[in-house]
Amino acid sequence: MPQTIHRGYKVLVDEASAAIETIPAADAVAAFPNGNVGCDDVVLVDLRDPREREREGKIPGAFHCPRGMLEFWIDPDSPYAKPVFQQDRKFVFFCAGGLRSALAAKTAQDMGLKPVAHIEGGFSAWRRAGGAVEPAEPHPPAKSPR
């Protein structure tokens, strides 16, 4: 029997968006013209998968936190906690298109991290708005066993 989903991703994203700060991409570019380089009070958090970063590039100075590790990296009691999330700074999340980052910002806010926001439209909108982008360093291909 197929599953019946009662609250799909669109509802979850809409609920998250209603509860968090959303920064239009053009405003984010104006606020951070060099990406996260030189920002002492804000951390841009890139939630994209490493393959997305290799393919599309990255915002200079953004902290990379794969979405699947977010809760573990935020929680200071986690064995995976990252010191960056223990700092008194604003955390601005982004993903490729703004859906994962809305959910992530809401989760982070629910966990007690504050202040948080997300970039509307994500990395794609950032790039379209003329934001700084640097190419990611591709990983070397895996060596085949001999």
What would the pLDDT profile of 61-97 be if each residue is shown by its tens digit? Answer: 999 999 999 999 999 999 999 999 999 999 999 999 9
Contact indicator for 43, 90 with CB cutoff of 8 Å:
yes
Kindly list the structural domains of the chain, giving each domain's residue range(s) and its CATH number in brackets, ordered by start. 21-128 (3.40.250.10)
What per-residue confidence (pLDDT) applies to 15? 97
pTM summary value: 0.91
Residue 125: HSE in the Cβ half-sphere, 13 Å Cα cutoff: 20
